Structures are given as structure tokens and as C-alpha cells.
């Protein structure tokens, strides 16, 4: 079995700590991937509009599992949208607003929405990840398709908040970590692995033909589902333990190194 699909998380994986990647080297590898019939998929918790900005020349011909699987786009075509009901949205937002240390972004298909009164530092950070960000006075009467909430909070409150939210929102949303001081609330079953499954069904690709890279809690299902699940050296220990393989640090172009090995049919990709 050869690799037919390569899926990359972005922050802490494909991107280095400066939110950059070696574009010239990737362009060469991508040309070879196309020649060998290998699909390239960006699988990230980030907003679709932010993700396409990293691939201006090829966004129209690759696929995106954006918003942690909430929105799947292939070659510019919408394949899937998760969607909360209005009642579910109100239930979740009603509780989140009682948590004083939590900044909230409601992630919709057309925009991310956050509160105007939040401090400037948070809003500036949010704009880096949400190229379409609306500042609102409250979360009432927003007209959009909502599939995720992104939460920002102090690191020392992360574990306790994760535990309490998991219990409170059981059956509606599941909390996953997406980096330092951040939690994504995702719809149950609507994760990156589900997004990849949708694409795999479209293309007739088996899990044994999938290579995935990740470094965070929102990558767990994807790393387990893919035969070649690679955790980054900078990933937490629990992510390394569930992944079948490991590679180097995100600052060392390690994803590109592994892709090069795939193209050259080097171990473990020479079976």
C-alpha cells in the first residue's frame, strides 16, 4: 500500500513558531505529490479563510478540513458543514458567558464572532487566526452556521475547565485542547478524522493509505485513524503515545522531511 493522502495540522506542525513554512521547498514537493497522485489536505482548527491564505497558488486544487472538521472544502467545493441548532448554541454560550476568565469566539461559516469589550491584545491575537472576525456587543441574534467555539483562558485553568465543560455539554459539544491556553468546543463526531473520512470516501482512499501529522489534542482522532500517524517532537507526551510514529520539531521542516521520504518510498513507506 502506498500513501495516497497526506494531511497536515498547521500550528505547531506544518508551520514553525513564526507561523511560516519553506514555500519553495514545499512547492517542489507538492509538484511531485501531484505527479504521484497523492492528495494534500490541510486539517486544522483554524478558520478556512485563514488557511487558504497560506496556500494562495493552490488553494483551489487542494482540500481543507477547517474548524477541526466543522467545515470540509475540496477544490473550492463545500462537502460538509457541521451545524449547531439555535437551542444548542444558546445553551453553550449561556454557560460560557458565566466564566469570567474565558474569552469566546463563536465560529461560524461566514465569520468568527467575539465580543467588542474584550481587551485589545486578545482581539489582535484572534485576528491572526480569524481573517473574518466580527466584533459584536453580544452573541444574540447572530445569523450564521455555527460549528465550533474557540476559547482562550489562562493555562492554569485549562485542565479544570476542560473537565467541567466535558460534563456540562455532554452530547452537545466536546472540549479538545488546541494549543497553549486554548480549548475548542467541537460537535461530537465532527473532528478532523471525520473530515478526512469524508474526503477518503470521495476518493476511495483507505486508512492504510493515509499519512497524518499533528501535535495537539484536536489531532488525536486523525492520528489514530491514519495508518501513518506522526506526532511532532514538540507535541505533548500523551500525543506522542497515541501516534504510531514521531518526527522532529515543527521548527526543523520535519513534515517536509517525512513527505520527501514518502516520495522517495523510504521506510516505512516502502511496503
Could you tell me which of 113, 139, 117, 108 has the C-alpha nearest to residue 126?
113
Which pLDDT value is given to residue 66? 97
Same-domain pairing of 176 and 209 = no
Domain assignment present for residue 270? The answer is no
Query: Are 39 and 6 contacting, i.e. CB atoms less than 8 angstroms apart?
Result: yes
Structural domain ending residue among the three candidates 124, 157, 186: 186
Which pLDDT value is given to residue 270? 86
Residue with cell string 502506498:
2
Domain count, the chain: 2
252 catalytically annotated: no
Query: Are 210 and 4 contacting, i.e. CB atoms less than 8 angstroms apart?
Result: yes
Domain assignment present for residue 91? The answer is yes
Same-domain pairing of 122 and 173 = yes
Average pLDDT over residues 7-21: 97
Domain assignment present for residue 43? The answer is yes
| Domain ranges, residue 160 | 86-186
Which pLDDT value is given to residue 180? 72
Same-domain pairing of 97 and 171 = yes
Distance of CA 16 to the CA centre of its chain: 15
State pLDDT tens for residues 218-242.
999 999 999 999 999 999 999 999 9
Average pLDDT over residues 130-149: 96
State pLDDT tens for residues 183-208.
999 999 999 999 999 999 999 999 99
Structural domain ending residue among the three candidates 145, 169, 186: 186
Same-domain pairing of 157 and 90 = yes
Position 53 pLDDT exceeds 90: yes
Structural domain ending residue among the three candidates 163, 186, 209: 186
Rg of the chain over CA atoms, in angstroms?
18
Same-domain pairing of 96 and 172 = yes
Cis peptide before 165 (omega within 30 of 0): no
Position 271 pLDDT exceeds 90: no
The single residue of 9, 184, 215, 219 carrying the catalytic annotation is 9
State pLDDT tens for residues 64-113.
999 999 999 999 999 999 999 999 999 999 999 999 999 999 999 999 99
Same-domain pairing of 180 and 197 = no
Same-domain pairing of 146 and 162 = yes
**Average pLDDT of the residues of the chain:** 96
Query: Are 262 and 6 contacting, i.e. CB atoms less than 8 angstroms apart?
Result: yes
> Torsion-angle region of residue 171: left (phi > 0), alpha (psi -120 to 50) or beta?
left
Same-domain pairing of 151 and 196 = no
Which pLDDT value is given to residue 178? 78
We report the CATH number of the domain holding residue 48 as: 3.40.50.1000
Distance of alpha carbon 211 from alpha carbon 223, whole angstroms = 8
Average pLDDT over residues 119-132: 95
Q: Between β-strands 182-186 and 210-214, what pairing exists: parallel, antiparallel or unpaired?
A: unpaired
Query: Are 200 and 206 contacting, i.e. CB atoms less than 8 angstroms apart?
Result: yes
We report the CATH number of the domain holding residue 109 as: 3.30.1240.10
Output the pTM of the full model: 0.95
Average pLDDT over residues 162-171: 94
Same-domain pairing of 148 and 75 = no
Which pLDDT value is given to residue 26? 98
Q: Provide the residue count of the chain.
A: 271
Domain assignment present for residue 62? The answer is yes
- Alpha-helix runs per DSSP H in the chain: 23-35, 48-52, 86-96, 120-129, 158-168, 192-203, 220-225, 237-242, 254-263
Amino acid at each position: 500500500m502506498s500513501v495516497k493522502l497526506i494531511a497536515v495540522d498547521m500550528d505547531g506542525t506544518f508551520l514553525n513558531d513564526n507561523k511560516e513554512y519553506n514555500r519553495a521547498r514545499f512547492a517542489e514537493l507538492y509538484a511531485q505529490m501531484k505527479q504521484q497522485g497523492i492528495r494534500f489536505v490541510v486539517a486544522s482548527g483554524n478558520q478556512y479563510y485563514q488557511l487558504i491564505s497560506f496556500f494562495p497558488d493552490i488553494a483551489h486544487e487542494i482540500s481543507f478540513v477547517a474548524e477541526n472538521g466543522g467545515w470540509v472544502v475540496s477544490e473550492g467545493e463545500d462537502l460538509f458543514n457541521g451545524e449547531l441548532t439555535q437551542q444548542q448554541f444558546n445553551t453553550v454560550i449561556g454557560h460560557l458567558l458565566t466564566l469570567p476568565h474565558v474569552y469566546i469566539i463563536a465560529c461560524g461559516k461566514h465569520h468568527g464572532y467575539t465580543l467588542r469589550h474584550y481587551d485589545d491584545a486578545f482581539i489582535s491575537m484572534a485576528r491572526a487566526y480569524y481573517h473574518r472576525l466580527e466584533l459584536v456587543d453580544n452573541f444574540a441574534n447572530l445569523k450564521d452556521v455555527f460549528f465550533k467555539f474557540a476559547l482562550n483562558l489562562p493555562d492554569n485553568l485549562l485542565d479544570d475547565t476542560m473537565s467541567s465543560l466535558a460534563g456540562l455539554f455532554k452530547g452537545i459539544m466536546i472540549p479538545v485542547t488546541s494549543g497553549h491556553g486554548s480549548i475548542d468546543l467541537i460537535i461530537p463526531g465532527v473532528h478532523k478524522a471525520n473530515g478526512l473520512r469524508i474526503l477518503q470516501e470521495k476518493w476511495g482512499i483507505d486508512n492504510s493509505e493515509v499519512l497524518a501529522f499533528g501535535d495537539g489534542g484536536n489531532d488525536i482522532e486523525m492520528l489514530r485513524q491514519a495508518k501513518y500517524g506522526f506526532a511532532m517532537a514538540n507535541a505533548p507526551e500523551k500525543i506522542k503515545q497515541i501516534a504510531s510514529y514521531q518526527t522532529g520539531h515543527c521548527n526543523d521542516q520535519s513534515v517536509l522531511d517525512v513527505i520527501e521520504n514518502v516520495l522517495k518510498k523510504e521506510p516505512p513507506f516502502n511496503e
